[in-house]
Structure 1
Amino acid sequence: MCGRYTIIVTLDELLRRYDVSGSIMPSHMPRYNVAPGQMVMAVINDGERNRLGELRWGLIPEWARDERIGYKMLNARAETLAEKPAFRNSLQRKRCLIPADSFYDWKRTDKGKQPMRILLRSKEVFSLAGLYDTWTSPDGSKISTCTVITTRSNEMMAEIHDRMPVILRPQEESIWLDRQVTQTDFLLPLLRPYEADEMYAYPVSDRVGNVRNDDEACVEEAALLL
């Protein structure tokens, strides 16, 4: 699963990384503990260029009667995207990238759950595969939301959890964003585990379990529970 992540790089770095220009950008500060229900940075393509903006984490399908369904739609399993009514339409035409530079997950030990920070060995920004949708509330206001797609864990992640977020390879990002690409047979093979030898993890403190903690201490290495 994916329930917490970091995006510490600057806004300028994000704009360069995703080739975004010419639009009004939201404010951005380094975030060390991004959590469900919060507004998160996301990249979409409007048919001509990439756009960077904010979506609320927790997908509310366009047809939903109640926005509270979003709390159940934080993640979407890659294996069932094409079958689930909540995700099927978004998979075809409303796909996004969610920039991150690490994510957290909790490893079970004899002493309890140990939070772990997982990164690429290159320490570069990567793109989580996401879906988005826009929901209109009874009062007419619109809420744009997203979900993070997960897949089975690779060999490295399997020691921590049996699921991991889908990290797209850089060369696949433009395909994922392309609205002209709608064939699920072409899209679903992109949603595979990232190469284990290009990732690593280290233990961090249980501070990340509290959403109010959002500072550099969240990413400091801690002693592993044994």
Structure 2
Amino acid sequence: MCNLYTVRKTAAEVAEYFRVPNPIQSNAGPEVYPGTPGTVIIENNGIREMRSMTWGFPLRLKDMKPDAKPKPVNNIADLTKPMWIGLARKPQWRCLIPVTGFAEAEGVKGSMTRTWFSVKSEPVFAWGGLWRVSDEWGPVYSGAMTDANEAVAPVHSRMPVVLYPHEYDLWMHGSLSDLIALQQRKYPAQSILMERTNDLWVAKRQVVSEEPTLL
């Protein structure tokens, strides 16, 4: 799962990297948590746009109280599940999530620390995602996950679907089979940089990191 990532670049730098003509200022912070604002890249009439959206699709569980807030489903375990496949089939609901690094918790429960992963020689990279407009939070997005490569596996069994720059258009315009192939392939471990820290992992909020098995 991925419940924390960073975008330590300005809007102008992100726009230049992703060839977006409209850099926008968002209220998203440099660290992005589930249920909080983040910046994504979508396409509208063939032109890439930066949009500010909430990270996580709102989900109400059957045992939740009527006035309880939905849980943000911020990770996509399987693009072929009913919750996702309808969006995955349609290019207009695909997005690129700008990332400079993603974190996983490591260590003993209660005193876990943040371990960061980034892509070598890439100041920013794209995580393949989907988005939609929700009744609860307006535009929302979630990121596709895949099996961890050898660099991430010592810390967690899953990792974001990291895309090469030449795969950005494939994610945005390819077939459903193309997206599934990208989700199933492993990003090379030699391209990943790991940084262990002493920073405590502090959960900002309760999250649903992957969709329930019934979906």
TM-score bin, normalised by smaller chain: 0.7 to 0.9
Kept in 2: contact 1:107–1:159 (CA 8 A): no
Question: What are the Cα deviations for residues 80-122 of structure 1, in whole angstroms up to 9, with x where unaligned?
Answer: 311x221111111211011011010012469953320111121
SS at match of 1:190: helix
SS at match of 1:206: strand
Judging changes above 3 Å, is the alpha-carbon distance between structure 1 residues 86 and 204 closer, same or farther for their aligned structure 2 residues?
Answer: same
Q: How many angstroms does 1:186 deviate by?
A: 2.3
**CA–CA distance in 1 between the matches of 2:75 and 2:68?**
16
**CA–CA distance in 2 between the matches of 1:37 and 1:11?**
21
Judging changes above 3 Å, is the alpha-carbon distance between structure 1 residues 29 and 114 closer, same or farther for their aligned structure 2 residues?
Answer: closer
SS at match of 1:81: coil
Q: Aligned to 2:189, which of 170, 183, 196?
A: 196
**CA–CA distance in 2 between the matches of 1:130 and 1:68?**
23
Query: Which ranges of structure 2 fall in alignment gaps of 5 or more residues?
Result: 60-66, 206-215
Q: Aligned to 2:198, which of 180, 199, 205?
A: 205
Cα root mean square deviation, aligned: 2.7
Question: What are the Cα deviations for residues 109-137 of structure 1, in whole angstroms up to 9, with x where unaligned?
Answer: 69953320111121420101111111235
Kept in 2: contact 1:2–1:165 (CA 8 A): yes
Letter in 2 for 1:45: E
**CA–CA distance in 1 between the matches of 2:149 and 2:15?**
30
SS at match of 1:50: strand
**Matched residue, 1:149:** 144
Question: What are the Cα deviations for residues 200-220 of structure 1, in whole angstroms up to 9, with x where unaligned?
Answer: 1111233452549xxxxxxxx
Kept in 2: contact 1:120–1:198 (CA 8 A): yes
Letter in 2 for 1:6: T
SS at match of 2:112: strand
Q: Aligned to 2:55, which of 57, 71, 80?
A: 57
The answer to whether 1:135 aligns with 2:127 is: no
**CA–CA distance in 1 between the matches of 2:54 and 2:26?**
15
Q: Percent identity?
A: 26
Letter in 1 for 2:170: I
Q: Aligned to 1:169, which of 164, 181, 186?
A: 164
Q: Aligned to 1:187, which of 179, 184, 191?
A: 179
Judging changes above 3 Å, is the alpha-carbon distance between structure 1 residues 113 and 124 closer, same or farther for their aligned structure 2 residues?
Answer: same
**Matched residue, 1:25:** 24
Kept in 1: contact 2:103–2:115 (CA 8 A): yes
In the superposition, the TM-score normalised over structure 2's length comes to 0.81
SS at match of 2:45: coil
Judging changes above 3 Å, is the alpha-carbon distance between structure 1 residues 20 and 57 closer, same or farther for their aligned structure 2 residues?
Answer: same
Q: How many angstroms does 1:2 deviate by?
A: 0.6
**Matched residue, 2:84:** 87
Letter in 2 for 1:19: R
Aligned residues: 196
Kept in 2: contact 1:8–1:29 (CA 8 A): no
Letter in 1 for 2:12: D
Q: How many angstroms does 1:8 deviate by?
A: 0.5
Kept in 2: contact 1:25–1:52 (CA 8 A): yes
Judging changes above 3 Å, is the alpha-carbon distance between structure 1 residues 196 and 26 closer, same or farther for their aligned structure 2 residues?
Answer: same
**Matched residue, 1:43:** 41
**CA–CA distance in 1 between the matches of 2:124 and 2:86?**
28
SS at match of 1:151: strand
**CA–CA distance in 2 between the matches of 1:91 and 1:187?**
8
**Matched residue, 2:125:** 126
